[in-house]
Copies of this chain bind each other. A is one copy, B any other.
């Protein structure tokens, strides 16, 4: 393991984003396109509206017939019939005639404007007009909203309800969108059991799950799959590999066939079972192994059979923090190329420490922090860049940060924390009551609502 400085590790990984950008396209139904990114410019196949429409209930007339009409000297026109929304008129309005029309109905040939119903009186075969209209008044012209052939959605646009609505208006029922990165997830460890395959793990808190002796439930498959979903990518959980090079290699080969990016957790420390970085080194390119942060030190990153692969620590808290710091930014960069809106979208990057990183692009790797005062003295290990998980509380106007004090292997650490503070290696002690910047865990806590 040759430790890489954390900012440099971030740069090295992000520099691969362009190479691994997912350029696959897929065609989806319009009613499944919300939130997807359009992969091709879309032009309007028809005019919107498709015909001149009345914008008011009233009478379609030739405007010239109404000139000088008022309460005292109304114009009188012959009523030819009626056209309602959804009908297509087969009459022609000549001078001296009119047609009753409802909002949204097509303007009959010959007519050029609509007199509102409240400015007219229906005398059965005749209609009295009490107010003049100008040509085009109360008429929405064909193509005035969208003209046939016009660019309506450009490549790279995020489909929002407004924009799917524009496509619906044009009768477009399928749309070509960018493929989401597919992320294979592999857990390694002889001690792991997949909780999804256990029969009776009901959440009534009463039954013991039949966990074999010496085994534990695999946590990382769940947390990493869900974190991948939060990043807008498709998780492909490939299950658990034993601490055996052939088994791990087999899963990695399967991952290469199915996914764009590979995440494998466990077996990355320097013990007897340091299998994954070795396989990456022997069968691909081990770009880095070891980063000067705690937790998360044994991170490895490389290229295996042409696909980027992350080897994360087995400890769930370390795995999820490493994901948030190094994997999520790459996922975002590989999936979203450009946002056309002038307001940068607040993409919910998990790269909450982006501010700490040199190349963090504003907007893409936006992070949210709050200032808080510590409720106790915090001692960080000397010479270590350390992340300390904290829970936030509010006291009056003040935000308070309390470290989550769990053992290093605790699964509950992240679940109990609202965010973390980052103590650079030059510092050892943060005094009680000192103001610190807390990086919230956006993608990992409150941004996942579905």
Contact = CB atoms under 8 A, between A and B. Distances in A.
Q: List the number of copies, as a whole number.
A: 2
Contact of A201 (B31, B173, B448): B173
A411 B145 contact: yes
A308 interface: no
Contact of A209 (B104, B170, B211, B443): B170
Contact of A271 (B57, B191, B215): B57
Most chain B CB neighbours (cut-off 10 Å) among A163, A167, A391:
A163
Nearest to A148: B208
A144 B196 CA distance: 24
A162 interface: yes
A68 to B, nearest CB: 27
Nearest to A228: B161
Contact size class for A? 35 or more
Interface in A385-405: 391-394
Interface string A311-335: 0001010001000000000000000
A320 B214 contact: no
A174 B203 contact: yes
A414 B40 CA distance: 21
A100 to B, nearest CB: 10
A169 B219 contact: yes
Contacts of A227: 161
A374 interface: no
Interface string A214-229: 1111111111111101
Contacts of A159: 448
Interface in A340-372: 341-343, 345-348, 370
A30 B195 contact: yes
Interface stretch (A13-21, A80-88, A288-296, A375-383): A80-88
Contacts of A106: 213-214
Contact of A42 (B117, B203, B347): B203
Contacts of A237: 31
B160 A412 contact: no
B341 A271 contact: no
A5 interface: no
Most chain B CB neighbours (cut-off 10 Å) among A160, A196, A370, A411:
A160
A2 interface: no
A36 B450 contact: yes
A172 interface: yes
Nearest to A42: B203
A198 B197 CA distance: 43
Given A161-B444, A269-B103, A201 B174 contact: yes
A162 B350 CA distance: 13
A396 to B, nearest CB: 14
Interface in A115-170: 117, 140, 144-146, 149, 152, 158-170
A175 interface: yes
A241 to B, nearest CB: 12
A69 interface: no
Contacts of A208: 45-46
